[in-house]
Structure 1
Amino acid sequence: MIEMNIFSHSLKALSELVGADEAALTLLVSILLGYPIAIIYRQYFCGRDQYFQHLYFIASGLLLGYLNYGLDVAHPLLSMVVTYVILAGLGATAAAVGAVFAFNMIYLLIGYYTTSTEYYDINWTMPHCVLVLRLIGIAFDYFDGQQKEDTLGADNKRFMLKTLPNPLEFFGFAFFPSSFLVGPQFPMRRYQNFVNGDFGDKTDPFKPPRSEYAALKRFGLGVFYLSVFQIMGMYVSDSYMVSEDFRELSFIRKHLILGLWGRFTLYKYISCWLLTEGSCILFGITYDGIDEKGEKQWNGLENVKLSIFENTLDFDDYVHSFNTNTNLWLGHYIYKRLKFLGNRNFSHLGALMFLAVWHGFHTGYFVAFFIEFLVIYTERDIKTIVKSNEKVSQFFNQPMVNIPLKLFLRLYTFIFMGFCLIPFVLFTWENYTYTYVSINYSGLILYVLYPVLWGPILRAVLKRKKTD
């Protein structure tokens, strides 16, 4: 306890010295502690009895939770216990899936209701929202494991659980230290394969995985993006977006600043994900098979695909390159299971609404994910219309047209990603509507009016000519 107090006082003094939020600094230090925790694992626990591995993960995950949230770490612990009791009592049934889903979502929403403010809160609900997806995923996988395999999709077969994991395995998975606080998401089957030694050296199970170089690369990228984020914070901030100074800028400058602010916002998440991924790689849990050169790949938990993200030409690129593990979870456990709705757009909208609820009660979340739906719908519809007109398609495929078109799309995605983030980051109606007024409602005019105005006009202009 004395050591904990010393740690807490040291971080408080450091936060005052550098002018950083104490909770955010504690979280960053905890993410970095994943590296020494991984080194200790490699030295003393790798290849040992699974019993000791589970205990090590539980103890280290609990420690990190306590460093950040004190006794509030009891909230995720309680959810783990209740979820396990439900699955053990009801078995691999639809009732168990429903009960696990309902309990964890209701508990999370109660947490949001009792703790949230109008600002970005770093409290126990942050790791808890990550945990909720993990626990719901186990319930679905356990249910899938009892179904006829010929009725399951490829991912369902890959993730399904034939038996309920034992308690130590269950809690070790939930508390895994390099993913407990901020992710990434991964299924129980990956954790089981990892502790079973399937990702290590088969000739010597006690030999740590040769993943040091891959871990170092992601760590270096994480430090780089964190540095860029700090530098950008000197010029843009959330408070600046709701200031009179921003509103008084010219139309073009406001939109360029909007794009810069959007990158600033995303780099905050990217830097954390890169740092956590690096420690996951050091553990060896990110194994992703052998490449054509016979070398092991360690990108199995890659949460941001930087080459795609930094070269986006449309918002589908953002979806496929940013927060990829959560997107994969959403696609597997929510989107595909809404197939009974009979319409891809309905399934997409339902999945996004789940994400909005999962994030909390702020109206900005619901507006943001609805706008995401409209943006994706708009882009896909425009592509369909253009492809249906052979002359227009040929025009855009010309080298002289294609290059400036790509430059335009790069600028378009840069600016309007910032637009999409306005309600998500600014939370409250007063804040994000203030910024919408500042930018003259540009994105709303573009996307909200597209289905009823711009889309029909574009179809009329570019409709496919009839051929014999």
Structure 2
Amino acid sequence: MDSTSIQNGILFSIAQAIGAPEQALRLLISILIGYPIALFNCFYLRHKSAIVKHVFFTITGFSIGFFNFGWDIGHSFGCVLVQYLLIKILSGTKMCVALSFTFHMTYLLLGYYQTGTDTYDIKWSMPHCVLTLRLIGLCLDYYDGRKKPDQLNAHQKKMALVQTPTFLEMCGHVYFPGGFLVGPQFSMKRYIDFANNVYDKESGDIMQCIRPGLIRAALGFFYLALYQVASNFISDSVITSESFYEHTFIIRVILVGLWAKISLYKYISCWLLTEGVCTMSGLTYNGKDDKGKHLWNGCANVKLRVFENATRFGHLIQSFNINTNAWVAEYIYKRLRFLGNRSLSQAIALFFLAAWHGLHFGYYVCFFMELIVMLFEKDMELLVAKNPAIHRVFNNPTLAPVRWVVGKLYVFCFMGYCLAPFTFFSDFWSIYGSLYYMGFVFFLGWRFVAPLILPRLVPRSPRSEVTSEPIVDGSEHPKKKQ
């Protein structure tokens, strides 16, 4: 029996003992391996040349990928090589951007088609979706670096790549152990500054990153333990079991709401643990706050206080998978400004997010639900802001506890409805039926009655240019003046 068989046997036995899939155990081990790598970087590589760091991160990250996916890790290496050749041959041109976007998204979708099953599987296509955004973003940043500064917005000026990245730099960026498997997303500019000790100089001592990194790691373990314990009582199998449909409607709503909350803890734990690796490496330095305290939240992917206290779905979007939302806002949504239609830009951005996640129909239903839910919440914000009577009631301090309870119930009741297609792909229709399609009835129903109700409740005001926050997290994307 060879060493690989022995290793697989041991991992399988451990996975069986803890009640987790073997691939999930491999993923967790791979994330935790990032911590000694991060400490090695802080203690031994922090003053080494950038080239040494690129080589180290490339070798360690590639090895972690091989541990999880074997020779399928070659898919990522091939795509990095193609991106490098596109930049070298076509430089920072629109043609380079178009070919880069087309190639990487097509490759990802073909990967989903090849590896896809009726369940969520941890295969090479999982980290490849992270790589896809990273390489497309790199190409756009290099494209921005060829423009004049007055043609760029604040984010583009900050991320623009003036110099052509080397192949080694691209490999270090892609295979960085703290972000290769499940994110977080971070730009090539951030990685280059980190490798060149810019953050070490700005912070005075990059060793300060260890404590905040450990805090995020501890939170990650807490949420992982919470998920493991709670999922023993309410798991995917509970929601899809025959006994689920024997409960009353109210109990079904409660069970789906609890299931959704617990399911999200799985993602939160992974993001916190990977963020801890990035932080302990020194990659996440983010300047100082108003009190002069150094910040290490440059790669934060979840805002726990906002998430746990969410009273509307806008809070969930602002606090959950932050870096991916920010990426879509900057690299998709805002760059569609030429369309002159905010709603169309939002729809395209959410369709891109659905396609980026996979080919399963459930992803598209999930992001369609996000679209109509956020449109509903924007209408409610308009009512509160523009109707004097509603404004007075809503902002009455004595009603604050009532608003909080109603908001929590609203999020709790509909969160599971919105998440079910994302998890169950095509089997979510039976769950929707058990809930009497209440999400469609409520939010789509509002789209039909809103044109009748809003004009009566919102006073008419002089026509002016319309601005609004996008559904994906980011800054304003105004319509063109008519």
TM-score (norm 1): 0.95
Of 37-46 and 372-381, the range deviating more from structure 2:
37-46
Match of 2:411 in 1: 413
Alignment of 1:8-27 (within 5 A): 8-27=8-27
% same residue: 43
Match of 2:264 in 1: 266
Of 321-330 and 289-298, the range deviating more from structure 2:
289-298
Residue by residue, what CA displacement relative to the aligned partner does 1:327-359 show, whole Å, maximum 9, x if unpaired? Answer: 110000000011112121111111000011111
C-alpha deviation, 1:275, in angstroms = 0.4
Match of 1:253 in 2: 251
Alignment of 1:112-191 (within 5 A): 112-191=112-191
The whole-number CA distance in structure 2 between the counterparts of 1:87 and 1:203 is: 33
Secondary structure of residue in 2 paired with 1:335? helix
Match of 2:344 in 1: 346
Of 43-52 and 91-100, the range deviating more from structure 2:
43-52
> Are the counterparts in 2 of residues 419 and 443 from structure 1 also a CA contact under 8 Å?
yes
Match of 2:466 in 1: none
C-alpha deviation, 1:236, in angstroms = 1.3
Number of residue pairs matched by the alignment = 461
The whole-number CA distance in structure 1 between the counterparts of 2:405 and 2:456 is: 24
C-alpha deviation, 1:264, in angstroms = 1.1
TM-score (norm 2): 0.92
Match of 1:446 in 2: 442
Paired amino acid for 2:165:
P
> Are the counterparts in 1 of residues 310 and 411 from structure 2 also a CA contact under 8 Å?
yes
C-alpha deviation, 1:402, in angstroms = 2.7
Of 351-360 and 4-13, the range deviating more from structure 2:
4-13
Secondary structure of residue in 2 paired with 1:165? coil
Counterpart of 1:279 (choices 272, 277, 280) is 277
C-alpha deviation, 1:261, in angstroms = 0.8
Residue by residue, what CA displacement relative to the aligned partner does 1:9-32 show, whole Å, maximum 9, x if unpaired? Answer: 321221122221000010011001
The whole-number CA distance in structure 2 between the counterparts of 1:195 and 1:465 is: 55
Change (3 A) 1:463 1:146: closer
The whole-number CA distance in structure 2 between the counterparts of 1:4 and 1:284 is: 34
Match of 2:296 in 1: 298
The whole-number CA distance in structure 2 between the counterparts of 1:381 and 1:203 is: 44
CA-atom RMSD, angstroms? 1.7
Paired amino acid for 2:299:
L
Residue by residue, what CA displacement relative to the aligned partner does 1:141-200 show, whole Å, maximum 9, x if unpaired? Answer: 000111111011000100001121111111111110110000000100000110110111
C-alpha deviation, 1:450, in angstroms = 1.4
C-alpha deviation, 1:418, in angstroms = 1.3
Match of 2:389 in 1: 391
The whole-number CA distance in structure 1 between the counterparts of 2:358 and 2:39 is: 36
> Are the counterparts in 2 of residues 247 and 439 from structure 1 also a CA contact under 8 Å?
no
C-alpha deviation, 1:234, in angstroms = 1.3
The answer on 1:51 being equivalent to 2:46 is no
The answer on 1:459 being equivalent to 2:460 is no
Match of 2:229 in 1: 231
Structure 2: segments with no counterpart, 5+ residues? 462-482
The whole-number CA distance in structure 2 between the counterparts of 1:320 and 1:434 is: 30
Of 169-178 and 10-19, the range deviating more from structure 2:
10-19
Secondary structure of residue in 1 paired with 2:198? coil
Alignment of 1:86-105 (within 5 A): 86-105=86-105
The whole-number CA distance in structure 2 between the counterparts of 1:57 and 1:203 is: 22
C-alpha deviation, 1:248, in angstroms = 1.7
Secondary structure of residue in 2 paired with 1:112? helix
> Are the counterparts in 1 of residues 62 and 73 from structure 2 also a CA contact under 8 Å?
yes
Secondary structure of residue in 2 paired with 1:200? helix
The whole-number CA distance in structure 1 between the counterparts of 2:110 and 2:384 is: 47
C-alpha deviation, 1:201, in angstroms = 4.5
Change (3 A) 1:465 1:85: closer
> Are the counterparts in 2 of residues 4 and 67 from structure 1 also a CA contact under 8 Å?
no
Residue by residue, what CA displacement relative to the aligned partner does 1:294-349 show, whole Å, maximum 9, x if unpaired? Answer: 33211111000001011112111111110000011000000001111212111111
Residue by residue, what CA displacement relative to the aligned partner does 1:257-296 show, whole Å, maximum 9, x if unpaired? Answer: 1111111111010000000001111100000112344332
Secondary structure of residue in 1 paired with 2:179? coil
> Are the counterparts in 2 of residues 201 and 209 from structure 1 also a CA contact under 8 Å?
no
C-alpha deviation, 1:7, in angstroms = 3.6
Match of 2:473 in 1: none
Structure 1: segments with no counterpart, 5+ residues? none
Paired amino acid for 1:45:
L
The whole-number CA distance in structure 1 between the counterparts of 2:300 and 2:322 is: 7
The whole-number CA distance in structure 2 between the counterparts of 1:29 and 1:458 is: 54
> Are the counterparts in 1 of residues 149 and 157 from structure 2 also a CA contact under 8 Å?
yes
C-alpha deviation, 1:443, in angstroms = 1.0
> Are the counterparts in 2 of residues 127 and 182 from structure 1 also a CA contact under 8 Å?
yes
The whole-number CA distance in structure 1 between the counterparts of 2:399 and 2:54 is: 57
The whole-number CA distance in structure 2 between the counterparts of 1:426 and 1:276 is: 26
C-alpha deviation, 1:5, in angstroms = 4.9
Secondary structure of residue in 1 paired with 2:292? coil
C-alpha deviation, 1:399, in angstroms = 2.2
The whole-number CA distance in structure 1 between the counterparts of 2:199 and 2:4 is: 35
Secondary structure of residue in 2 paired with 1:449? helix
C-alpha deviation, 1:256, in angstroms = 1.3
